[in-house]
Amino acid sequence: MTKYILAIDQGTTSSRAIVFDADRKIVGVGQKEFTQIFPRDGWVEHDPEEIWESVVSTIRIALEKAGIGAGDVAAIGITNQRETTLIWDRASGKPIHNAIVWQDRRTASICAGLKEAGHEALFTERTGLLLDPYFSGTKVKWLLETVEGARERAEQGELAFGTVDSFLIWRLTGGRVHATDATNAARTLMFDISRNIWDEELLGLLGVPKALLPEVKDCADDFGTTDASLFGAEIPILGVAGDQHAATIGQACFEPGMVKSTYGTGCFAVLNTGRDLVRSNNRLLTTIAYRLDGETIYALEGSIFIAGAAVQWIRDGLKLVQHASETGPLARSADPSQHVYMVPAFVGLGAPWWDAEARGAIYGLTRNTGPAEIARAALEAVCYQTRDLLEAMRKDWQGDGKETVLRVDGGMVASDWTMQFLADILDAPVDRPTILETTALGAAWLAGMKAGIWPGMDAFAQSWARDIRFEPKMDEAVREEKVRGWDDAVQRTLTR
């Protein structure tokens, strides 16, 4: 019997394929970065064909490194950058435009128009989201209104919309399956998360024909099989979840009150609220954590648009370091007497401020400020923003009073310096797991569990293992002073 599971982790800056064995150990990895396209200020695009090619090539690399063939893989799990929007021709599979990335702000005026018309309360009630360019719905509207002939072709059923998971499923299955899962659907501004259906009224307000939309399935479900010509054999696709939902699963945050935070291009904190659809009074998002066997589990989420991307900017924009891993040691060497704050609003500010027009700023610069202080400010900004999210979550979620322990994952958590500062500024423990590839692991578990070769939820949760716990050590007066400085920097940055 085939024992291997293949996870496709299609992220914002790179695509990865990871092969897990029956013991959930990684035995093969392929990774490839792809081009970030910035047509105008605040606009971010990807070439869908480059994404597709990167996924296919990394799968082949991972299989080769694992020393197996496609026939040895029991199932594929897909996890993806969310909200990034594609529309393609059903006949040819060719996209009608570059993918519009979740970070893109071009639809700010569309969102403003819908707000001015008094529609935001309806969107929030149905979708749990806010009217912000972050989400897919207004991106779809922009594409239909901007690409010549797109609306007419969409109404005639000639075009298909999808987030990246849908596009990959379509391509992998040779155009036989047009589907998504509940977590990705929940991020589109078009899906009623309480009724688990595409919402006709919201579609009408956005001018999106229902014929454009994919079928919505559970996270562990039958998403078709890959075309045998791609990898040499058909492989069932049995798991799909947006990246933050997959990370929640991979961190085994299955109990209400459990929190995970992922530090990738952006930072995303997710609090499991169980079967309770909790409405936020602090501008957090209400979303679907996952849907299994038709049962929906909900979550509160805080989204920070820029986390690791600030480190990339220090590397590629300012050229202060050659490798992202250098920022931790550089930050450690910073002058402790300097109080430098970076508010990384390069593409606006996410939760809990939601200011699409804000732009990045650095405060507290002196003649003595150098690369070390700027690197420290970038890493600290991620921690301050996490604190803001968790404070908002505490106000919204009336849990059982137990101490909150944050489970962390993503590229930035490899920095011990950053994780210690995070624990210090949160005044709460931070747990780093032994497996940092929790997003891919979550997608793999969905597929492996559905295939019947990986354990169920309880056994999987028991297998979660901690690498290290970072305990807060900072003096309370120091912490309060630092947080006051951060709060002041944010207020100076906000445009409203």
What are the structural domains, with CATH classification, of the chain? 4-243 (3.30.420.40), 251-433+465-496 (3.30.420.40)
Predicted local distance difference test score (pLDDT) of residue 446: 97
CA-based radius of gyration for the chain = 22
Tokens 């990045």 correspond to what residue? 360
Percent of the chain with pLDDT over 70: 98
Determine the pLDDT at residue 150.
93
User: What gap in Å lies between CA 48 and CA 36, rounded to an integer?
Assistant: 11
Q: Has residue 191 got a pLDDT over 70? A: yes
Q: Which of 222, 179, 221, 175 is nearest to 198 (CA)?
A: 179
Interatomic CA distance for residues 182 and 296, integer angstroms? 9
pLDDT surpasses 80 at 159: yes
Q: Say which residues have a Cβ less than 8 Å from residue 46's Cβ, sequence separation at least 6.
A: 34, 35, 36, 37, 84, 98, 99, 101
**pLDDT classification of 399: cutoffs 50, 70, 90:** low
pLDDT at 404 over 80: no
Structure confidence at residue 44 (pLDDT) = 93
Torsion of CA 268, 274, 279, 283, to 10 degrees: -10
**How sure is the predictor about 402, in pLDDT bands with cuts at 50, 70 and 90?**
low
Predicted TM-score of the model (pTM) = 0.86
Please tell me the distance from the alpha carbon of residue 165 to that of residue 268, in angstroms, as a whole number: 19
pLDDT at 331: 84
Q: What is the pLDDT of residue 403?
A: 59
